[in-house]
Structure formats: structure tokens, C-alpha cells
């Protein structure tokens, strides 16, 4: 019994502490009025800056001893890039290029950072220089073609690739780039031929297999597209874009569960991918989970407000939910019990009732003050009112004086 009473006391003490401070000992969290969220975000910032400082500290020590160490500047650039500090990354990689201006890795990183800063023209010049040094770099060709496509210069890009292939038909990266540009122009059959040529030269190109799969998907050949996506994922299983593509193929085949698994994997790799959230929304809608689908599609549009396909899908899911809600409202109207007549409703209008009561409270001219209908039972019984007794007592006191 004593143990039980002690436990009760402990519980009450803990409850009082939670009420006073808003702090729970079990969860280590504050109640809704507390400021735990603010503390957690500040801690997250501290840890992020802590990681950045630790990563930079190694290169700072090297540069203190030798400011002309290009690898240290490139290391700093990579750290800044990882933390999405693009301007700082650009400054660091330019320092590295001042020391080693022809290093392909440094040039590639500079071009990539310039793309993140939306400096397409500058990036294009860097990639052209890089292709002069290493004309068979598939990564460089891929980025150059993507820049030209972003600038709306697909035809110009195609001419440059054809010129490069005329000089050297065994440039794998150029064949891959040609496939990408042709796919961007909607020439999917020609794109597949270009991708196949690249894969004959080098069979383990995950990027080329992913591009080929997209072209097959666009030609409404989903089974072949699925095989190509699976082949690409065997080489590079951490590519979110490839997982999204696989998910979209499953949607086309009507396999919503498999589509949901694929796009969920893509989100786990890259949560900021709007196509992944769109794919998830469509898969959830296919499974009849429209409210969850709505959330996924809204997330997709928050990441890319101009995503037209997601807007159409959102409108479709909204209409489905609207129909369901309307049907529910009709059912509720049918099941709703009839309301009883209110006790305040009378046959006589309220205006007549008000006149009756207001007439009783008025005093008639020429007559003494009549008793109010609102007087208490004590007055009816002939008992003096509190006010009248007070008046009598004051009069008696005045006479005595």
C-alpha cells in the first residue's frame, strides 16, 4: 500500500512539474506552448555548421603551411558544394585552377557550380574547354548538351555533336549526348539508335540506359523500358531519376503498389525531386488513398509550382474527393433526425407577447406606484422590502437627533 501511495505522489509531482515548466521527463519534450522546436532547429544548425567547420579545418591547416596547394583548394570547393554554398565553392575552385588551369576535374567542378548559379553561358565555355582537353568525356558531353537544351539551342547542340563524331565516331559520350538531344526534340526512335551505339562502345553506362528507357517509355513500350531501367539500377542503384522512371512505367502498366515502392525509394534518395512526389501521388490515387495522394501532389507543386502535369493530377484528385464528400453529405441529410418544435415557438407572434409584458411593467399616470409583476413572493406575503426597511431606519435616526 505504501509503495502505491508513493507512486501516486511521484506521478502528481511529475504532473505538476509538466504543468509549471511544460517539460516531460519521459519524452524530453515540451508541450505545445514550449519552445522545443526552436531549440531543435538551432541545434541542427549548430551541427551543420560544426560539420562544415570540421571538414574545412583539414584543408585550412594545409593551406596555412602551403597556400599554393591546389588539392586543398579543390577540397574546400567540394565541401562548400556539399553544403550548397555555391559562391564559396566557385571562389575555392577558381583558386585551384589558378594553380593548375588544365586539370579536367577542377574544370568539370567549376562548370557544374556555374550551372547551380544559373550561369549557363559561363558553364558552356568551361565545358567546351574541357572537351578540348578530353573529347571522350561522357559526363562533360552530357552537361554541355543539357546546358544547350536549357538555353533552347538543341539544333546547335546536335550540329556540334555531329561534327565531333565525324572526327571520331568512337566518342561514347558524344553518342550519349546525341541520344539526349534527339529525345529532347521528341525524335525517340533516332534517340534509341544513338543510345544503342553508345552502349555497343561501352555497355555499363547507367546514364545511357536510363535515357534509352525514357525514350522507350515515350514510345509506349513500357515492358522494354522497365528492362532498361532495371539494367541502369543494377549499375547505379542510387539514382533518384531512374527510380522515378521505373515508378512511372509501373503506373502505365497499372501496378500502383510497385509504382509506390519505386517512387518512395526515389524520395528517400532525393526528397526535393518534384517528379518523385508526383509519381507517389498518382500511385496513392491508384490505390484509392486520395487524401494521401493530395498531400503528395501538393508537395510536388511546392517544389515546382510550374509543374503542369502535377497541377492536372491535383485537380483530378480534388474532384474525386469532392464527389466522395458530396455523397457523404447526402447520406447525412437522409439520416438526420427531424428536429422537434422549439419550446420557445408559440402560435402567437413574439411582438404580441412583448407588448403584454411591457404593458404590465408600466405605471399609470394619476395613480400611486403599483406593485410590479416582477415583485418577489415576500412582497406578496406583506413582508417589507429591504429598501423600505432601510428608509424607515434612517428616518428614526434623524428624529432622535
Q: Per-residue pLDDT averaged across 12-36, rounded?
A: 43
Residue 145 confidence (pLDDT): 78
Q: Which of 78-82, 216-220, 330-334 has the lowest mean pLDDT?
A: 330-334
Mean pLDDT of the chain: 77
273-287, 296-310, 324-338 — which is least confidently predicted? 324-338
DSSP string, 323-388: HHHHHHHHHHHHHPPPPPPPTT--SS-HHHHHHHHHHHHPPPTTSPPPPPTT--HHHHTTPPPHHH
In the chain, what is the greatest distance between 2 CA atoms, to the nearest angstrom? 134
Dist CA 252 CA 247 (whole Å)? 9
DSSP H/E element including 79: helix 70-82
In angstroms, the Cα distances linking 391 to 3, 342, 396, 397 are: 66, 46, 9, 10
The mean pLDDT of 325-340, rounded to a whole number, is: 43
Task: Supply the pLDDT for residue 244.
Answer: 97
3-state class (DSSP) for residue 30: strand
Cell numbers at 231, concatenated: 539494367
Task: Say what percent of the chain tops pLDDT 90.
Answer: 43
Determine the Cα–Cα distance for residues 277 and 258; give it in Å rounded to an integer.
Answer: 15
Q: Which three cell numbers stand for residue 283?
A: 500511385
Residue 264, Ramachandran bin (φ over 0: left; ψ between -120 and 50: alpha; else beta): alpha
Cell numbers standing for residue 197: 551505339
> DSSP letters of 150-205?
HTT-HHHHHHHHHHHHHH-TT-HHHHHHHHHHHHHTT-HHHHHHHHHHHHHH-TT-
pLDDT at 273 over 80: yes
Predicted local confidence at residue 306, as pLDDT:
93
Round to whole Å and give the CA distance between 191 and 223. 18
According to the model, what pLDDT value does residue 196 have? 97
Distance CA 397, CA 93 (A): 105
Is residue 396 very low, low, confident or very high in pLDDT (cuts 50, 70, 90)?
low
pLDDT given at position 225:
97
Among 80-89, 106-115, 247-256, 341-350, the range with the most confident prediction by mean pLDDT is 247-256
Pairwise CA distance, residues 339 & 327, whole Å:
22
Q: What is the pLDDT of residue 173?
A: 86
Q: What is the pLDDT of residue 331?
A: 45
How many Cβ atoms sit within 10 Å of the Cβ of residue 140? Answer: 24
Is the Cβ–Cβ distance between 130 and 160 less than 8 Å?
A: no
246 closest CA partner among 274, 214, 220: 214
Burial bucket for residue 202 (CB in 10 Å: 0-12, 13-18, 19+): middle
Distance CA 160, CA 165 (A): 9
pLDDT average, residue stretch 81-86: 87
Q: Most confidently modeled of 49-63, 151-165, 256-270? A: 256-270
Q: In whole angstroms, give the CA distance from residue 225 to residue 119.
A: 34
As to burial, measured by CB atoms within 10 angstroms (0-12 exposed, 13-18 middle, 19+ buried), residue 136 is middle
The CATH T-level fold of domain 238-331 is: 1.25.40
Amino acid at each position: 500500500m505504501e509503495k502505491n501511495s508513493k507512486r501516486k505522489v511521484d506521478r502528481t509531482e511529475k504532473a505538476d512539474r509538466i504543468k509549471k515548466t511544460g517539460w516531460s521527463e519521459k519524452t524530453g519534450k515540451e508541450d505545445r506552448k514550449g519552445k522545443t522546436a526552436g531549440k531543435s532547429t538551432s541545434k541542427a544548425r549548430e551541427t551543420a555548421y560544426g560539420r562544415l567547420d570540421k571538414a574545412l579545418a583539414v584543408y585550412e591547416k594545409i593551406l596555412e603551411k602551403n597556400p599554393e596547394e591546389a588539392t586543398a583548394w579543390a577540397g574546400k570547393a567540394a565541401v562548400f558544394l556539399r553544403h550548397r554554398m555555391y559562391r564559396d565553392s566557385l571562389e575555392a575552385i577558381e583558386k585551384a585552377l589558378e594553380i593548375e588551369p588544365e586539370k579536367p576535374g577542377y574544370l568539370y567542378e567549376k562548370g557544374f557550380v556555374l550551372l547551380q548559379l544559373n550561369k549557363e553561358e559561363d558553364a558552356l565555355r568551361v565545358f567546351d574547354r574541357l572537351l578540348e582537353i578530353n573529347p571522350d568525356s561522357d559526363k562533360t558531353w552530357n552537361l554541355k548538351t543539357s546546358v544547350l537544351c536549357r538555353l533552347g539551342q538543341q539544333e546547335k547542340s546536335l550540329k556540334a555533336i555531329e561534327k565531333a563524331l565525324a572526327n571520331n565516331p568512337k566518342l561514347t559520350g558524344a553518342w550519349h549526348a546525341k541520344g539526349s538531344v534527339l529525345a529532347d526534340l521528341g525524335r525517340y526512335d533516332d534517340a534509341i539508335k544513338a543510345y544503342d551505339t553508345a552502349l555497343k562502345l561501352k555497355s555499363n553506362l547507367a546514364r545511357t540506359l536510363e535515357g534509352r528507357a525514357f525514350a522507350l517509355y515515350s514510345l509506349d513500350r513500357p515492358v522494354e523500358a522497365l528492362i532498361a531501367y532495371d539494367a541502369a539500377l543494377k549499375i547505379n542503384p542510387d539514382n533518384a531519376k531512374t527510380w522515378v522512371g521505373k515508378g512511372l512505367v509501373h503506373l502505365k502498366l497499372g501496378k500502383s503498389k510497385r509504382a509506390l515502392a519505386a517512387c518512395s525509394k526515389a524520395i528517400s534518395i532525393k526528397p526535393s525531386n518534384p517528379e518523385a512526389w508526383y509519381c507517389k501521388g498518382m500511385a496513392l490515387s491508384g490505390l484509392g488513398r486520395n487524401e494521401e495522394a493530395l498531400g503528395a501532389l501538393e508537395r510536388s507543386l511546392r517544389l515546382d509550382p510550374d509543374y503542369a502535369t502535377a497541377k492536372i493530377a491535383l485537380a483530378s484528385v480534388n474532384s474525386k474527393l469532392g464527389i466522395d464528400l458530396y455523397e457523404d453529405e447526402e447520406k447525412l441529410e437522409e439520416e438526420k433526425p427531424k428536429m422537434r418544435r422549439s419550446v420557445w415557438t408559440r402560435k402567437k407572434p413574439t411582438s404580441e407577447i412583448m407588448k403584454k409584458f411591457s404593458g404590465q411593467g408600466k405605471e399609470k399616470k394619476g395613480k400611486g406606484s403599483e406593485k410590479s409583476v416582477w415583485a418577489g413572493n415576500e412582497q406578496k406575503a406583506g413582508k417589507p422590502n429591504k429598501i423600505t426597511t432601510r428608509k424607515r431606519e434612517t428616518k428614526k435616526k434623524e428624529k432622535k437627533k
